[in-house]
Amino acid sequence: MKSFSNIYKILKRLDDMLDLPEVDNEKISAKTLGITELRRARYLIMLENGGYIEGLKVFDEDEPDIGTENLHITLKGIKWLAENAALIKAANIIKEVGGAGVTAAVSAVPNL
């Protein structure tokens, strides 16, 4: 779930930056995301390979050596965000409620 959440954050922040003339790299930095540079680089490479982002420059796939100056979200990335927004909201609610609350809520639903 950690990977899914971080990928969502990256795509969401790139979507939010569509009105900016260039990418604000600080908003998608490894430090801001709370992950390693290598993990961030690998997420961005996966997202570009999947067609969710464009403009990534990869200098070395085995090292966190990438360029993000021309990075932007694609229509496919925007569609993915829309389709997964409900899942992210549900995950956040589960985090807030906690394990005991979730168990009680699930028990209250008939035929589950």
State pLDDT tens for residues 19-44: 999 899 999 999 999 999 999 999 99
Report the SS3 class of residue 23.
coil
Mean pLDDT of the region 5-13: 94
CA distances in angstroms from 69 to 15, 27, 38, 47, 57, listed in the order given: 15, 13, 18, 16, 8
Domain boundaries, the chain: 1-97
Q: Can you give the pLDDT at residue 105?
A: 52
20's tokens:
């900016």
Q: What is the pLDDT of residues 42-94, one digit of tens each?
A: 999 999 999 999 999 988 767 778 888 889 999 999 999 998 887 777 777 78
Fold of 1-97: Arc Repressor Mutant, subunit A (1.10.10)
Mean pLDDT of the region 13-21: 95
Exposed, middle or buried by CB within 10 Å (0-12, 13-18, 19+), for 109?
exposed
